C-alpha cells in the first residue's frame, strides 16, 4: 500500500525527510517506511510543492491498519485502511465494494444549482464498507487553477476518502495543463506501469501512471489515458501495444481473476450531443476492437456530465450516423460483448449536460442528474451496479436514492466471438 502527501512553504523543495508510521492499532504504530520526495515545480505561475511517497510493506491481507505520516517534527493525524485481499482471504471478504464517478469539482468549482457528491460519498467511506474509489478523469476543475492551489484544495477536500481507501484515477481533458504535470505528480502513489516505465510532463520525467493496470481481488482493472489520443498522439501506438499485451496476460489468469474492467475518461459510446460524433468515433477506432477481442466485461468512462448505462455493444460502424454505431442484444446475462457505462455527473462548475438526441436502443438508462455509482463484485459471475442521485435541483423525493441498478451476470469470462455484420 502506497501513501502520498505534500508540503509547501519550504525554502528548498524536498529539504526535509518524510516517513510513514503504521501498525495494527493506534497504540502500536511500530512499523515505518522512509518516503521518497519529488519536487513539483512547473514555473512561476504555479505553486511549488514537495510530494512524498512511501510504501507500507509486509501487510497481511484483508487486515485493518492504522498510520500517520511525518516530515521532520510535524505529524499528521492517524488514519486507517484495510489492506487488499489475496487468494486466501477474498472469499471471506465479498462483495468487493467500489464507488465510481467522474468529473468531480472542488468547493471552488461547484455546480450553480447543487453541491457535489462529496458529502454523500464521504459518508459511505466513513461507514467502512468501501474497498476502492474509481474516479474516471477530470479532477478539481482545474488542478492548475488559482496558480495550482486548486489542486491542493481539492486534494485536501477528498482526504476524508482518499486517506482511508485507495483513490484510483485516470487523466481527463481538464488535466492537460503543463502536459498533465499535476495529475502525474499528485498521483505518484498510483499503481505504475513497469512495462512502459516513464512519461514526461512539464515537471520532467516520471513513472508512468497514465496507462497501467493492477489486480484487486476478483477484478483486473485497466487504467487508460483517452487524452493520449487528443494531446500526446505519439504515444497512441505504445499504449495500444501495451494494452493488447496486458489484456492477453489478464486472460491467461482469468481462472483466478475473472473480471476485467477498463476505465478511461472519454467514452466510446454516448448519446447526449456532438461529443458522441468525432471524439467518440476516434475512441472506438483506437480501443473498441482490442476491448472486444479480449472480452472486457465493463468499460467505464466520464467526460459527459450525465449518467448513461448501455447494454452489451459489439463493434459495428454506422457510416451514415456514427453515433448510432454498435450492435446490441440488450443483454446483461452472459452478454456477448462489453457493457459500457458513463458516470460523469459527480458535479462541477460546468453543470448538467442534457441529452439532445433520442435514446438509442443500446442504452438501458440515462439521466443528467448529479450522482455517483456503486459497483459490487459478489463472486466470479455476479456484479451489481447502482446509480445514486444526489441533486438538490431535482425531485427531492429521490435525493440520495438509487435510480438505476442491474446485475451483470457472466458465467463465461473470456474473449468475445465476433458475430456482428452490416
Q: pLDDT 10s per residue in the chain (422 long)?
A: 999 999 987 678 999 999 999 999 999 999 999 999 999 999 888 999 999 999 999 999 999 999 999 998 799 999 999 999 999 999 999 999 999 999 999 988 877 655 679 999 999 999 999 999 999 999 999 999 999 999 999 999 999 999 999 999 999 999 999 999 999 999 999 999 999 999 999 999 999 999 999 999 999 999 999 999 999 999 999 999 999 999 999 999 999 999 999 999 999 999 999 999 999 999 999 999 999 999 999 999 999 999 999 999 999 999 999 999 999 999 999 999 999 999 999 999 999 999 999 999 999 999 999 999 999 999 999 999 999 999 988 888 888 899 999 999 999 999 997 544 33
Alpha-carbon distance of 17 to 74, in angstroms, equals 11
What pLDDT is attached to residue 419?
A: 43
Report field, pTM of the whole predicted structure over 0.85 = yes
Count of Cβ atoms closer than 10 Å to residue 223 Cβ: 23
| Residue from 173, 209, 262, 195 nearest 38 by CA | 209
What pLDDT is attached to residue 114?
A: 57
Alpha-carbon distance of 30 to 15, in angstroms, equals 25
What pLDDT is attached to residue 418?
A: 52
Count of Cβ atoms closer than 10 Å to residue 251 Cβ: 18
Q: Tell me whether the omega of the peptide bond preceding residue 142 falls within 30 degrees of 0, making it cis.
A: yes
What pLDDT is attached to residue 394?
A: 84
Whether 8 and 42 have beta carbons less than 8 Å apart is answered as no
What pLDDT is attached to residue 100?
A: 98
Whether 137 and 102 have beta carbons less than 8 Å apart is answered as yes
Q: Tell me whether the omega of the peptide bond preceding residue 308 falls within 30 degrees of 0, making it cis.
A: no
Strand order in the sheet with 132-135: 167-169, 132-135, 96-101, 371-377, 382-389, 402-409
Alpha-carbon distance of 22 to 142, in angstroms, equals 33
Q: Is 262 exposed, middle or buried (0-12, 13-18, 19+ CB in 10 A)?
A: buried
What pLDDT is attached to residue 84?
A: 97
Residue 77, C-beta contacts closer than 8 angstroms, at least 6 positions apart: 68
Amino acid at each position: 500500500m502506497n501513501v502520498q502527501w505534500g508540503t509547501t512553504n519550504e525554502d528548498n523543495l524536498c529539504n526535509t525527510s518524510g516517513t510513514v508510521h503504521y501498525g495494527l492499532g493506534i497504540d502500536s504504530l511500530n512499523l515505518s517506511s522512509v518516503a521518497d520526495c519529488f519536487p513539483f515545480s512547473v514555473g512561476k505561475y504555479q505553486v511549488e510543492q514537495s510530494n512524498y511517497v512511501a510504501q507500507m510493506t509486509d501487510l497481511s491481507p484483508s487486515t485493518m491498519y492504522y498510520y500517520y505520516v511525518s516530515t521532520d517534527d510535524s505529524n499528521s493525524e492517524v488514519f486507517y485502511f484495510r489492506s487488499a485481499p489475496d487468494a486466501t482471504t477474498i472469499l471471506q471478504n465479498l462483495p468487493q465494494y467500489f464507488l465510481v464517478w467522474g468529473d468531480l469539482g472542488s468547493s471552488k468549482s461547484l455546480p450553480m444549482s447543487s453541491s457535489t457528491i462529496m458529502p454523500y460519498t464521504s459518508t459511505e467511506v466513513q461507514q467502512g464498507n468501501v474497498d476502492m474509489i474509481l474516479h474516471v478523469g477530470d479532477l478539481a476543475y482545474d488542478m492548475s487553477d488559482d496558480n495550482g492551489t486548486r489542486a491542493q484544495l481539492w486534494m485536501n477536500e477528498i482526504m476524508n476518502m482518499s486517506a482511508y481507501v485507495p483513490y484510483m484515477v485516470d487523466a481527463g481533458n481538464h488535466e492537460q495543463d503543463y502536459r498533465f504535470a499535476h495529475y502525474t505528480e499528485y498521483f505518484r502513489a498510483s499503481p505504475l506501469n513497469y512495462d512502459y516505465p516513464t512519461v514526461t510532463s512539464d515537471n520532467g520525467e516520471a513513472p508512468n501512471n497514465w496507462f497501467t493496470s493492477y489486480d484487486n481481488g476478483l477484478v483486473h482493472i485497466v487504467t487508460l489515458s483517452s487524452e493520449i489520443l487528443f494531446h500526446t498522439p505519439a504515444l497512441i501506438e505504445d499504449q495500444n501495444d501495451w494494452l493488447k499485451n496486458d489484456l492477453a496476460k489478464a486472460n491467461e489468469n482469468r481462472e483466478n481473476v475473472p473480471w476485467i474492467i477498463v476505465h478511461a475518461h472519454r467514452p466510446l459510446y454516448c448519446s447526449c450531443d456532438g461529443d458522441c460524433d468525432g471524439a467518440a468515433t476516434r475512441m472506438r477506432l483506437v480501443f473498441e476492437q482490442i476491448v472486444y477481442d479480449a472480452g472486457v466485461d465493463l468499460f467505464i468512462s466520464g467526460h459527459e456530465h450525465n449518467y448513461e448505462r448501455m447494454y452489451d455493444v459489439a463493434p459495428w460502424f454506422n457510416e451514415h450516423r456514427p453515433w448510432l454505431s454498435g450492435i446490441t442484444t440488450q443483454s446483461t446475462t452472459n452478454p456477448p460483448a462489453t457493457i459500457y457505462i458513463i458516470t460523469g455527473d459527480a458535479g462541477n462548475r460546468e453543470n448538467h449536460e442534457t441529452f439532445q438526441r433520442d435514446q438509442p436502443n443500446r442504452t438501458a438508462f440515462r439521466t443528467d442528474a448529479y450522482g455517483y455509482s456503486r459497483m459490487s463484485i459478489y463472486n466470479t459471475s455476479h456484479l451489481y451496479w447502482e446509480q445514486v442521485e444526489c441533486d438538490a435541483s431535482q425531485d427531492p423525493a429521490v435525493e440520495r436514492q438509487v435510480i438505476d441498478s442491474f446485475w451483470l451476470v457472466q458465467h463465461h469470462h473470456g474473449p468475445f466471438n465476433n458475430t456482428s455484420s452490416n
